[in-house]
């Protein structure tokens, strides 16, 4: 084979590669585009000279001040609630150690009229990260329970709030136009998480919250919440609020944001991580957990409230025999 027959393809290959490389380099200039700008939230918004990263002390114990007689506290497990037993253990252990009874209500134990029957025998209710909508009958039962003096503590992480619109179990109007629960209590929550690039514990999503007003804030200097949601109350008390340089992820707006609020017999906390055994003793988290436990057992609910619902108002369907609730 002649030498020129070998050289020609090689030259063509070199020209082709040069054209590809040269074209790739020229595209940004031709189109006006920029090369990929890789940044992250911390690099863009942190003034490291101004940031205060403090390792909050982890000590103390969870105690209760209430001397109330033994009360029954229900923990909702009937709505695919996304919260682990480990996370709940700090609050449950505190209640049981102080002579109170904790019952977990499963989906099978909440069908039909059984949900209201559970509420009738209880003094307080804990709802955390519900992942299944409440029926209109169940919502009405919780509302009647709170109006009768039963205590309700609602805990929700931002993911649940975003999924259901506002705080877990759909505080927006339901499909049948029944009024939703939180709006009845004057409570609301915003989607997105809180962060603070200037003062935080470990990471910028571990936000310090300082006390506001009311018994839930008693004895608290500061609490650490992690990946928390902003909550507010129309007519009630803001128990804890994040500092004024805290921002909301969805708006990037710096402001003071409530993370724990109370309206009458109902309290709402936009976080669940403060309950974990790893976080329960950080800063004054153990004081706040004790205050929540006191709140749960300090109500005086009307006996046998709420009234038994009809089959229709309970969401339809015959109520199965109610098995004994799990007891902690």
User: Would you place residue 319 in the very low, low, confident or very high pLDDT band (cuts 50, 70, 90)?
Assistant: very low
| pTM confidence score | 0.75
d(CA 1, CA 5): 7
Taken in order of first residue, the domains within the chain and their CATH numbers are 72-298 (3.40.50)
From the list 146, 143, 93, the residue with the least C-alpha distance to 123 is 146
Lowest pLDDT segment from 20-34, 67-81, 220-234: 20-34
User: Would you place residue 274 in the very low, low, confident or very high pLDDT band (cuts 50, 70, 90)?
Assistant: very high
**pLDDT (tens digit, 9 = 90+) per residue, 187-205?**
888 889 999 998 888 888 9
User: Would you place residue 134 in the very low, low, confident or very high pLDDT band (cuts 50, 70, 90)?
Assistant: confident
Q: What is the mean pLDDT of the chain?
A: 78
User: Would you place residue 60 in the very low, low, confident or very high pLDDT band (cuts 50, 70, 90)?
Assistant: confident
Find how far residue 277's CA is from the centre of its chain: 17
Strands (E) in 28-71, as ranges, are 52-53
From the list 288, 263, 96, the residue with the least C-alpha distance to 208 is 288
**pLDDT (tens digit, 9 = 90+) per residue, 264-273?**
999 999 999 9
In DSSP notation, 242-310 reads EEEEEEETTT--EEEEEEEEEETTEEEES-SGGGSTTTTTBTTHHHHHHHHHHHHHS--PPTTPSPPPP
């Amino acid at each position: 084979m002649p030498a020129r027959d070998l050289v020609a393809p090689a030259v063509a290959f070199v020209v082709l590669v040069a054209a590809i490389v040269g074209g790739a380099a020229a595209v940004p200039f031709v189109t006006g585009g920029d090369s990929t700008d890789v940044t992250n939230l911390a690099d863009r918004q942190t003034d490291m000279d101004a940031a205060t990263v403090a390792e909050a002390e982890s000590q103390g114990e969870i105690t209760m001040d209430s001397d109330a007689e033994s009360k029954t506290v229900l923990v909702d497990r009937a709505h695919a609630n996304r919260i682990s037993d480990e996370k709940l253990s700090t609050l449950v252990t505190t209640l049981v150690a102080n002579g109170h009874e904790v019952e977990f209500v499963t989906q099978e134990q909440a069908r039909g009229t059984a949900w209201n029957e559970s509420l009738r025998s209880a003094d307080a209710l804990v709802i955390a990260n519900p992942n299944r909508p409440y029926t209109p009958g169940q919502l009405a039962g919780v509302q009647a329970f709170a109006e009768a003096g039963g205590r309700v503590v609602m805990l929700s992480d931002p993911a649940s709030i975003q999924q259901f619109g506002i705080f877990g179990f759909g505080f927006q109007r339901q499909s049948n136009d029944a009024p939703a629960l939180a709006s009845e209590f004057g409570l609301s929550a915003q989607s997105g998480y809180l962060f603070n690039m200037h003062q935080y514990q470990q990471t910028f999503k571990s936000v310090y919250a300082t006390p506001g007003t009311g018994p839930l804030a008693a004895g608290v200097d500061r609490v650490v919440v992690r990946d928390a949601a902003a909550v507010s109350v129309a007519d009630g008390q803001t128990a804890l609020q994040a500092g004024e340089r805290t921002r909301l992820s969805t708006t990037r707006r710096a402001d003071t944001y409530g993370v724990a609020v109370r309206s009458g017999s109902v309290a709402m906390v936009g976080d669940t991580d403060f309950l974990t055994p790893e976080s329960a003793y950080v800063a004054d988290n153990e004081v706040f957990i004790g205050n929540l436990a006191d709140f749960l057992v300090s109500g005086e609910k009307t006996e046998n409230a709420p009234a038994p619902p009809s089959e229709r108002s309970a969401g339809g369907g015959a109520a199965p025999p109610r098995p004994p609730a799990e007891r902690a």
